[in-house]
C-alpha cells in the first residue's frame, strides 16, 4: 500500500516538493557530522599515535606517530599472542544471547496477551505501566540492589541454600562464572523486556482486527492466530527489536561493570568489549584506546552489513 | 507460556496470564520497595544485609542528603531535567523530521541515505567518545562566539548562560544537541510512519495550500503522537540515566544526577553512607517516574488511537 | 558497591579522559628547581579535598572560622574577610587527582579567586605533588613540623632536596582487631597480651587459624585481610627497571592464603563486600580483622543508639579488642599541602600550623574525633589515660598498641604503581584461591595483563 502511495506522489508537481526531502535532512546530517563523524575521524587519527599517561610517575609519554603499532599491541603482548579481544567478544555475545532469548519470548507473550481482545486482561493498564518501571532505575542503583539480593550472604542464597537446601553451596557470583553471567543477563532482561513489550504492543495494535476475526471464523486457535497472522505482520517491528537489542548487546557495559566493580569477575569472564575499552581509556592510553575503538567500529560495521543484508533480502522477498 | 496455553479454554489461559503477570509485576516492583526500605536505614544497617521492613532513619537520611553542598542533589535534579527534556525534545522532533523526509519525498540518493543511516545506527557511542571529547576540547579553545556558531544555536546558548547565573552551563550543549542525530529513534519512527501516515493526507494538505513545514508540524506530527511519546520516554530516560559521556564533559560545570550519585558512591569511609545513597537514589528516580507516568498514559491509551491502518 | 580508601575498585570511569582534556598539564620535570611563589592579597581560600575528614576538623577547631551553614560543613564559610571554599572530588578512578592536576596546571594564570591554596594528598601519590613546584615547603610558611610528629609522616612529604612540603595531624598505624567472645571460646582468654602470643608471627598465626577453624569460626573473613600487612613489609618495589616484580613477602602471602582458603580457615571475598562485613554482626563468625583506628570507629557497623538496629553488631556490644598482631603496618592517612602560588600564604601557614602541630587542637581531635594524632608526646600522654578507653573495644585503650609498631613502618619501597599492582594482584589471586585459575602461574599471567593495561609504561617480566 505504501508503495502505491509513493508512486502516486511521483508526478511532475511533486518534483517541486521533493527538494524539501533534502531540507528536512539537513539537521540530522549537520548534527551527525559535528557529533559523530568528526569525532570518529579524530579517534582513527589518534589510533596511529603513541600517547599515554604514566600514573606511576605522573608524566605523559611523548606523542609520536607509530603506524599500526597500537593495533599490534592489542593482539601481541610482546611475548605471545594476546587473545583478550576474542575472549571479551565471546563474553559479550554469550551474555547478550542469555538475556535476549527470554526477553523476546516474554515480550512477545505479554504483547500478545495485552492486545488479545478475547483474553480481556483486567488491569492491563497497570501491568503495561509496571513492566517498563525497572528501566527507570539507574543501572548503578539497580546493580547495588541486585548484588545485595544475590550476594552470598543475601536472602536468595540463604533461601535456596540454608532453608530449602536446593543447592549444596552458597550462591557466590564472584566465584561462579555461570551465575555471574546469568545475573548480568537477568538484569539486562529485567531492564529491557518492558521496553521491548511496548514496542511489540504498538506493532500488534497496528494489525487489522478483522484479520483475527476472519481467522477465528475459519477455526484457527490462539497459537495459529499468533504464528500465521501476528508474527508475519510483526516482522518490521521484530527486526527493529532484534537490531536495537544487538546494538545494545555489543555496547553492553554498565550492568557487568557495576555488578563486578569493573573487574569482570570471576576471572574476567564477564568482561565485555566496552569494559575493556574503558579500562584502556581509564589508564589514559589514548593511542591503544583509539586502536581498540577502531577495531570495535569494524566489528560492529561488519555486523551491521550482515544484518542489513539479511533485512534487505527479506524485505525484497516480501515485496515480490 | 503460549505453548502451554495451546488449545486451552479461555478461562485457563486467563488464569495463567494473571499468574504470570502478577509474578512479573512483583519482579518489577520489588526494587522500588527495597529502595524505599534501604532509604530508611542507617549505613551500618544497610551494610549488614538486605531487610524487607523499613527502619526509622528516613528523616535522618533526608537531612543528610539535603545538608551536603558538595553533592547538591536538588540542583542536580533540575540540571538533569533540563538536559533530559531538551535532549528528548530535539531527538524526537528532528528524528521525526528525518523520517518524514525519507517517507514522504522522492529524491535522488534517498535509498542510499536510508541505508547509510541504518548502517551508522550500529556504531556504539563509546567508540567515538575519545574523539568526541578531543573535538569538544578543540572547539572550547575557540572563542565563545565561534562555539555558539558551531553548535548552531547562538540563542539557545545565551539562554543557558543567563539561566546559569554563575554556573557554567555552556557544556550542556554537548549533551543536548547530539540528540538531533539519533538513528535508532529515526528508524522506529520511520517504521511507524509507514503504517500511520498515509501519503494521501500530505497530498490533501498540499491541495489545501498548506506549506511543507506546516504540513509536517501541524498534520504529521500529531498523527505520530503515540510513537513520539514512546521514543520521548526512551530518550528522556536514557538521557536522565546517562553517566558515561556527561562525566567527562561536565568537569567544571554543574553536575547531573548520575554523576552526583557516583560521587556519593565513591566517597571513602569517612563520608560513605549507604542510607544517604539510597535516599538520594530514591529522590532521584522520582522525576523520571512522574514523566513516565504522564507520557505512558499517552502510550497505553494512545496506541490504539494511533494505529491507523495503512 | 562499597568504595573506601584504597581498596577501591573501579565502578565507573569518572574522569577517565580529564587528563587528556587538560593537555599535558601533569608532567613532572626530570629535574626541578624549587621556586616558591606566594602572596597575601587573596579574598578566597580554596581548599581541595576528596572527603570531609579534614574539613570537619578544620571547621570545628580553627579559631575564627565562621560556617555559612552550621548543618553543612561543605558549604564553606569565612575567616575574617576571607571566604573559605571547599572543592570535594572523590578519589575514585583518580578523579580527585585528575581534577587537581588540571587546576594546578592553570594555577599561575588562574583568577585570584580560583587559585588553589590548600590541598590534601594521600601517601600513595604524595611524591607526585611534593617532588616538584606544585607545593610550598613548610619552612617557607613558618610551620615547624619537626616537633613530635612521627618520622614516617614526614618521609611521605619530603622532596629530593629534603624539603618537608606537607604536614598531617594523624597517623594511621594498624593492628589486629579480634572478637573477645570468640577468643574466650577458642583460646580460653580474651586478654590482649595473652591473645598476642597466639598471633605473634605468621607461623603461629596459621596454627591458631587451624584451632579457630576447628571450633567453626573463620580466622579472618577473607585472605585479603592480611594482604596489607604483607605488602607493607616488602623488601623490594613492585616495579624494578620498568618491569613488574613480585616480592618474596607477597609470595609468602599467596602460599599462606592458599593453604588457609583450602583448609576453610578464611574466605576469598573482597574487602568491604557483605561477606567480609558479615563478621561485624553480633553473631558473626570471624575471629579477627586487620586495621587502624578508623576501621574500628567507622566501618565495623557501630549503630547510633537511636537506631532501630542498635545492638545487632559486635561493635554495639563492645566485643572487639586490639592487639599488635604479627607485623606492623599502616592504612590511610591524609596530608595537608600548601599550593605553590597561593595568595593567602600567611593564612595557609597558620592553618597548617594550627591544625597539625598545635597541642590544644590535636588534644581536641584525639578526644572528640578519636584520631590517632601525629604527636608522639600526646599519644604517650593519652596511652596511660585510663579514661580514654573505646566503647567498641569494651573499654580498652588501643593507643599504646597502635603506637607500638609505628616505628617499624618503612616507606622506602613505595612506588607510584603500588595501588594498581596491589589491587590487581589480589583480584588475580582470588581466581587462584577459588580454583578458577588452575595454577599460580595462570593467575600471575592475568595479573601481568591487568597491570600492563593499567600502566602502559610497565612491562611484564619473562
Segment A237-268, tens digit of pLDDT: 787 788 778 878 888 888 888 788 778 878 88
Instruction: Supply the mean pLDDT for chain C.
Output: 85
Q: Identify whether residues C179 and C154 lie together within a single domain.
A: no
pLDDT given for residue B91 in this prediction:
95
> Which residue in C143, C157, C87 sits closest to C117, CA to CA?
C87
Closest Cβ–Cβ partner in A24, A39, A226 for B132: A39
| Number of structural domains found in chain A | 1
Q: Is the pLDDT of residue C116 over 60?
A: yes
Residue C230 pLDDT greater than 50, yes or no = yes
Per-residue cell: B111: 535509498
Output the domain CATH number for residue C297.
3.40.190.10
pLDDT band for position C451 (cuts 50, 70, 90):
very high
Residue B3 lies in a domain: no
Query: Is residue B4 in some structural domain?
Result: no
Query: Contact C67/C28 with Cβ under 8 angstroms?
Result: no
Are residues C192 and C166 part of one domain? no
Are C23 and B138 within 8 A, CB to CB?
A: no
Task: Please answer yes or no on whether B266 and C18 come within 8 Å at the CB atom.
Answer: no
- Name the residue in chain B with its Cα closest to that of A202: B303
Answer yes or no: is C398 within a domain.
no
Same-domain status, B109 and B209: yes
Stretch C3-32: mean pLDDT = 37
Q: pLDDT at position B46, please? A: 76
Q: Are residues C375 and C257 in the same domain?
A: no
Establish if A58 belongs to a structural domain.
no
* pTM of the predicted structure, to 2 decimals: 0.83
- Do B174 and B227 share a structural domain? yes
Decide if pLDDT at C14 tops 70. Answer: no
Please say if the pLDDT value at position C161 is more than 60: yes
CB atoms within 10 A of CB C405: 17
Domain containing residue B105: CATH number? 1.10.3720.10
Residue C71 predicted with pLDDT over 50: yes
Q: How many CB atoms lie within 10 A of CB A61?
A: 18
Residue B306 has pLDDT above 70, yes or no: no
In a domain, B1, yes or no: no
Highest mean pLDDT: which range of A21-35, B293-307, C299-313? A21-35
Q: Are B190 and B228 in contact (CB under 8 A)?
A: no
In whole angstroms, give the CA distance from residue C268 to residue C426: 9
Question: C65 with C59: CB under 8 angstroms?
Answer: yes
Give dist(CA A102, CA C458) in Å, integer. 44
Q: Let me know if residue C419 belongs to a domain.
A: yes
Dump pLDDT digits (tens) for B51-104: 788 888 888 888 888 877 778 888 888 999 999 999 999 999 999 999 999 998
% of residues, chain A, pLDDT over 70? 91
Q: Quick one: pLDDT at residue C21?
A: 35
Mean pLDDT of chain B: 79
Domain that holds residue B50: 10-58
Of all residues in chain A, what percent carry a pLDDT higher than 90? 16
Contact status of B263 with chain A (Cβ, < 8 Å): no
Question: Which stretches within C199-340 are classed as H helix?
Answer: 202-214, 224-231, 248-262, 274-277, 293-294
pLDDT for res C439: 94
C-alpha to C-alpha distance for C356 and C373, rounded to whole angstroms: 9
pLDDT of residue A15: 52
Confidence check: pLDDT of C348 > 60: yes
Instruction: Based on the fold, state whether residues B34 and B182 are members of the same structural domain.
Output: no
Handedness of CA C96, C101, C107, C110 (dihedral sign): negative
Say if B258 falls within a structural domain.
yes
Query: Cβ contact (<8 Å) for A21 and B106?
Result: yes
Are the Cβ atoms of A149 and B34 closer than 8 angstroms?
Answer: yes
Inter-chain touch A281–C455, beta carbons under 8 Å: no
Domain contains A235: yes
Report how far residue C32's alpha carbon sits from residue C109's, in angstroms, rounded to the nearest whole number.
Answer: 20
pLDDT grade, residue C201 (50/70/90)? very high
Identify the pLDDT of residue C6.
30
CA distance C211 to C263: 11
Distance in angstroms (rounded) separating the CA atoms of residues C309 and A262: 32
What's the rounded mean pLDDT across residues B298-306?
Answer: 49
Residue A12: Cβ within 10 Å count: 6
Burial B7-16 (b: 16+ CB within 10 A, else e): eeeeeebbeb
- Flag whether pLDDT at A153 surpasses 80: no
Question: Which band of pLDDT confidence, cut at 50, 70 and 90, is reported for residue C347?
Answer: very high
C-alpha distances in Å from residue A185, one per residue of A98, A175, A189, A318: 6, 17, 6, 34
Let me know whether C103 and C202 are in one domain: no
Nearest CB to C303; choose among B45, B129, B262: B45
Residues B190 and B299 both lie in one domain:
yes
- Looking at the fold, whether B251 and B185 belong to one and the same domain comes out as yes
Whichever domain contains A238, its CATH number is: 1.10.3720.10
**B310: confidence class by pLDDT, cuts 50, 70, 90:** very low
Burial grade of A66 (CB within 10 A; 0-12, 13-18, 19 or more): middle
State the pLDDT confidence band at A129, using cuts at 50, 70 and 90: confident
Q: Which residues contact B276 (CB under 8 A, 6 or more apart)?
A: B43, B61, B64, B65, B68, B264
**Beta-ladder partners of A81:** A76
**C293 vs chain B: nearest CA distance in angstroms?**
12
pLDDT at B122 over 80: no
Average pLDDT, chain A: 81
Give C100 or B67, the one with higher predicted confidence: C100
H/E stretch holding B203: helix B199-207
H/E stretch holding C402 reads: helix C399-404
Q: How confident is the model at residue B116 (pLDDT cuts 50, 70, 90)?
A: confident
Q: Which residues face C116 on adjacent strands? A: C46
C159 vs C336 pLDDT, higher one: C336
**B99/B54 same-domain check:** no
pLDDT at site B309: 32
Query: Does residue B162 carry a pLDDT above 70?
Result: no
> What does the pLDDT look like over C362-394, one tens digit per residue?
999 988 887 888 888 888 888 888 788 888 888
Q: Are residues C356 and C325 in the same domain?
A: no
In 3-state terms, what secondary structure has residue C157? coil
Q: Is position A53 within any domain?
A: no
Determine if residue C224 is left, alpha or beta; phi over 0 gives left, psi from -120 to 50 gives alpha, anything else beta: alpha
Of A117-126, B46-55, B142-151, C393-402, the least confident: B142-151
C88: contact with B, CB 8 A cutoff: yes
The label of the residue with cell 539486562 reads: A188
| Cis omega (within 30 of 0) for bond into A266 | yes
What is the domain extent for residue C316? 174-329+411-454
Q: How many domains does chain B have?
A: 2
* Spatial separation of the C-alpha atoms in residues C269 and C274, rounded to whole Å: 9
- Residue C13 has a pLDDT of 33
In this predicted structure, the answer to whether residue A315 has a pLDDT above a threshold of 80 is: no
Quote the domain boundaries for residue A272: 83-283
Task: Check whether C102 has a pLDDT greater than 70.
Answer: yes
Regarding whether B192 and B275 lie in a shared domain, the answer is yes
SS3 C119: strand
Model confidence band, residue B165 (pLDDT cutoffs 50, 70, 90): very low
Q: How many domains does chain C have?
A: 2
- Statement to judge: residues C306 and C449 lie in one domain: yes
Strand partners, C459: C243
Residues 6+ apart with CB under 8 A from C88: B70, C49, C50, C51, C52, C55, C74
To the nearest whole Å, the CA of C68 is away from the closest chain A CA by: 32
Q: CB of C125 within 8 Å of any CB in chain A?
A: yes
One domain for residues B275 and B172: yes
By mean pLDDT, which of A155-164, B37-46, B118-127, B163-172 is the weakest? B163-172
Written as nine digits, the cell of C48 is 581541595
* Residue C392: C-alpha distances to residues A282, C178, C371 (Å): 40, 11, 15
Residue B144 pLDDT level (bands cut at 50, 70, 90): low
In a domain, C317, yes or no: yes
Say what percent of chain B tops pLDDT 70: 82
Cell readout for B42 is 542507617
Judged by CB atoms closer than 8 Å, whether chains meet at A113 and B21 is answered as yes
Kindly determine whether residue B248 and residue C12, on different chains, have CB atoms separated by under 8 Å: no
Q: Are A50 and A66 in contact (CB under 8 A)?
A: yes
**What is the per-residue pLDDT across B186-208, written as a single tens digit (0 to 9) for each?**
988 888 888 778 888 888 888 88
Return the number of CB contacts < 8 Å for A and C: 130
Report the distance separating Cα C285 and Cα C289, nearest Å. 12
Place of cell 583568577: C111
Measured distance CA(A121)–CA(A188) in Å, rounded: 27
Number of H helices, E strands in chain A: 16, 4
Length of chain B equals 310
A20 with B101: Cβ contact below 8 A: yes
Amino acid at each position: 500500500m505504501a508503495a502505491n502511495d509513493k508512486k502516486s506522489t511521483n508526478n511532475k508537481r511533486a518534483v517541486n516538493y521533493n527538494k524539501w526531502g533534502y531540507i528536512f535532512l539537513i539537521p540530522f546530517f549537520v548534527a551527525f557530522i559535528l557529533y559523530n563523524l568528526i569525532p570518529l575521524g579524530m579517534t582513527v587519527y589518534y589510533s596511529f599515535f603513541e600517547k599515554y599517561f604514566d600514573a606511576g610517575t605522573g608524566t605523559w609519554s611523548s606523542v609520536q606517530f607509530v603506524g599500526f603499532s597500537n593495533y599490534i599491541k592489542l593482539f601481541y603482548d610482546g611475548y605471545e599472542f594476546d587473545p583478550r579481544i576474542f575472549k571479551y567478544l565471546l563474553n559479550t555475545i554469550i551474555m547478550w544471547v542469555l538475556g535476549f532469548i527470554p526477553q523476546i519470548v516474554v515480550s512477545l507473550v505479554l504483547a500478545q496477551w495485552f492486545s488479545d481482545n478475547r483474553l480481556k486482561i483486567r488491569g492491563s493498564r497497570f501491568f503495561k505501566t509496571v513492566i517498563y518501571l525497572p528501566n527507570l532505575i539507574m543501572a548503578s542503583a539497580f546493580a547495588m540492589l541486585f548484588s545485595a539480593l544475590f550476594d552470598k550472604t543475601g536472602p536468595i542464597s540463604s533461601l535456596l541454600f540454608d532453608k530449602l537446601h536446593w543447592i549444596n553451596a552458597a550462591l557466590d557470583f564472584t566465584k561462579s562464572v555461570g551465575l555471574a553471567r546469568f545475573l548480568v543477563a537477568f538484569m539486562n532482561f529485567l531492564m529491557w523486556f518492558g521496553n521491548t513489550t511496548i514496542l511489540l504492543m504498538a506493532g500488534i495494535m497496528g494489525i487489522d482486527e478483522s484479520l483475527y476475526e476472519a481467522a477465528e471464523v475459519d477455526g484457527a486457535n490462539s497459537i495459529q492466530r499468533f504464528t500465521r497472522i501476528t508474527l508475519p505482520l510483526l516482522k518490521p517491528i521484530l527486526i527493529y527489536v532484534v537490531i536495537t537489542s544487538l546494538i545494545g548487546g555489543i555496547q553492553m557495559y554498565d550492568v557487568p561493570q557495576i555488578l563486578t566493580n569493573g573487574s569482570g569477575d570471576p576471572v574476567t569472564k564477564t568482561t565485555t568489549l566496552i569494559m575493556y575499552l574503558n579500562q584502556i581509556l581509564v589508564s589514559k592510553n589514548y593511542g591503544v584506546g583509539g586502536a581498540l575503538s577502531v577495531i570495535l567500529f569494524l566489528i560492529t560495521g561488519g555486523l551491521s552489513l550482515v544484518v542489513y543484508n539479511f533485512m534487505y533480502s527479506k524485505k525484497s522477498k516480501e515485496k515480490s | 507460556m503460549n505453548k502451554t496455553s495451546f488449545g486451552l479454554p479461555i478461562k485457563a489461559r486467563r488464569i495463567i496470564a494473571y499468574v504470570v503477570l502478577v509474578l512479573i509485576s512483583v519482579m518489577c516492583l520489588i526494587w522500588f520497595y527495597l529502595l524505599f526500605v534501604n532509604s530508611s536505614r542507617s549505613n551500618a544497617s544497610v551494610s549488614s544485609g538486605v531487610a524487607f521492613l523499613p527502619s526509622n532513619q528516613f528523616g535522618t537520611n533526608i537531612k543528610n542528603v539535603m545538608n551536603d553542598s558538595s553533592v547538591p542533589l536538588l540542583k542536580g535534579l533540575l540540571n538533569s531535567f533540563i538536559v533530559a527534556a531538551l535532549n528528548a525534545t530535539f531527538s524526537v522532533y528532528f528524528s521525526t523530521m528525518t523520517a518524514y523526509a525519507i517517507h514522504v519525498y522522492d529524491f535522488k540518493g534517498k535509498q542510499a541515505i536510508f541505508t547509510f543511516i541504518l548502517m551508522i545506527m550500529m556504531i556504539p557511542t563509546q567508540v567515538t567518545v575519545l574523539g568526541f571529547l578531543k573535538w569538544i576540547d578543540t572547539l572550547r579553545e575557540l572563542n565563545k562566539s565561534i562555539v555558539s556558531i558551531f553548535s548552531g544555536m547562538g540563542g539557545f546558548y545565551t539562554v543557558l548562560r543567563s539561566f546559569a547565573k554563575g554556573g557554567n552551563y555552556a557544556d550542556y550543549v554537548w549533551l543536548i544537541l547530539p540528540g538531533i542525530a539519533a538513528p535508532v529513534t529515526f528508524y522506529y519512527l520511520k517504521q511507524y510512519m509507514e503504517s500511520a501516515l498515509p501519503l494521501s493526507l500530505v497530498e490533501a494538505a498540499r491541495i489545501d495550500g498548506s506549506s511543507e513545514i506546516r504540513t509536517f508540524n501541524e498534520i504529521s506530527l500529531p498523527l505520530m503522537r503515540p510513537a513520539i511519546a514512546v521514543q520521548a520516554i526512551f530518550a528522556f530516560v536514557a538521557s536522565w540515566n546517562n553517566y558515561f559521556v556527561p562525566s567527562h564533559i561536565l568537569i567544571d560545570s554543574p553536575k547531573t544526577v548520575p554523576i552526583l550519585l557516583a560521587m556519593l558512591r565513591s566517597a571513602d569511609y569517612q563520608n560513605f553512607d549507604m542510607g544517604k545513597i539510597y535516599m538520594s537514589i530514591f529522590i532521584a528516580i522520582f522525576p523520571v517516574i512522574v514523566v513516565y507516568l504522564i507520557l505512558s498514559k499517552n502510550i497505553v491509551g494512545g496506541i490504539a488511537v494511533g494505529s491507523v491502518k495503512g | 558497591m562499597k568504595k573506601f580508601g584504597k581498596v577501591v575498585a573501579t565502578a565507573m570511569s569518572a574522569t577517565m579522559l580529564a587528563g587528556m582534556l587538560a593537555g599535558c598539564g601533569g608532567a613532572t620535570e626530570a629535574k626541578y628547581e624549587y621556586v616558591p611563589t606566594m602572596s597575601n592579597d587573596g579574598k578566597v581560600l580554596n581548599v581541595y579535598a576528596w572527603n570531609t575528614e579534614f574539613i570537619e576538623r578544620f571547621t570545628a577547631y580553627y579559631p575564627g572560622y565562621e560556617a555559612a551553614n552550621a548543618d553543612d560543613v561543605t558549604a564553606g564559610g569565612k575567616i575574617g574577610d576571607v571566604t573559605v571554599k571547599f572543592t570535594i572530588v572523590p578519589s575514585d578512578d583518580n578523579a580527585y587527582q585528575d581534577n587537581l592536576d588540571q587546576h594546578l596546571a592553570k594555577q599561575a594564570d588562574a583568577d585570584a579567586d580560583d587559585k588553589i591554596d590548600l590541598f590534601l594528598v594521600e601517601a600513595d601519590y604524595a611524591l607526585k605533588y611534593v617532588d616538584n613546584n606544585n607545593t610550598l615547603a613548610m619552612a617557607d610558611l613558618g610551620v615547624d613540623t619537626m616537633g613530635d610528629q612521627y618520622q614516617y609522616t614526614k618521609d611521605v612529604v619530603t622532596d629530593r632536596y629534603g624539603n618537608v612540603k606537607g604536614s598531617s595531624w594523624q597517623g594511621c598505624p594498624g593492628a589486629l582487631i579480634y572478637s573477645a567472645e570468640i577468643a574466650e571460646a577458642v583460646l580460653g582468654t580474651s586478654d590482649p597480651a595473652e591473645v598476642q602470643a597466639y598471633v605473634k608471627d605468621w607461623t603461629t598465626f596459621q596454627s591458631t587459624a587451624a584451632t579457630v577453624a576447628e571450633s567453626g569460626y573463620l580466622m579472618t573473613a577473607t585472605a585479603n585481610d592480611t594482604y596489607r600487612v604483607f605488602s607493607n613489609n616488602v623488601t623490594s618495589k613492585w616495579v624494578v627497571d620498568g618491569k613488574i616484580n613480585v616480592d618474596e613477602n607477597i609470595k609468602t602471602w599467596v602460599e599462606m592464603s592458599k593453604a588457609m582458603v583450602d583448609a576453610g580457615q578464611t574466605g576469598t571475598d573482597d574487602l568491604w563486600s557483605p561477606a567480609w562485613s558479615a563478621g561485624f554482626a553480633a553473631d558473626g563468625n570471624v575471629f579477627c580483622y586487620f586495621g587502624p583506628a578508623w576501621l574500628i570507629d567507622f566501618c565495623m557497623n557501630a549503630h547510633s543508639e537511636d537506631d532501630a538496629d542498635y545492638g545487632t553488631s559486635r561493635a554495639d556490644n563492645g566485643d572487639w579488642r586490639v592487639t599488635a598482631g604479627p607485623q606492623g603496618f599502616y592504612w590511610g592517612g591524609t596530608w595537608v599541602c600548601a599550593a605553590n602560588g597561593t595568595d593567602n600564604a600567611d593564612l595557609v601557614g597558620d592553618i597548617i600550623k594550627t591544625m597539625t602541630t598545635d597541642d590544644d587542637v590535636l588534644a581536641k581531635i584525639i578526644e572528640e574525633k578519636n584520631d590517632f594524632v601525629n604527636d608522639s608526646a600526646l599519644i604517650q600522654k593519652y596511652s596511660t589515660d585510663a579514661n580514654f578507653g573505646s566503647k567498641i573495644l569494651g573499654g580498652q585503650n588501643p593507643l599504646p598498641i597502635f603506637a607500638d609498631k609505628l616505628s617499624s613502618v618503612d616507606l622506602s619501597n613505595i612506588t607510584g604503581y603500588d595501588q594498581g599492582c596491589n589491587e590487581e594482584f589480589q583480584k588475580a589471586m582470588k581466581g587462584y584461591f577459588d580454583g578458577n585459575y588452575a595454577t599460580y602461574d595462570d593467575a600471575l599471567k592475568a595479573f601481568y595483563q591487568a597491570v600492563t593495561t593499567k600502566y602502559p609504561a610497565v612491562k611484564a617480566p619473562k
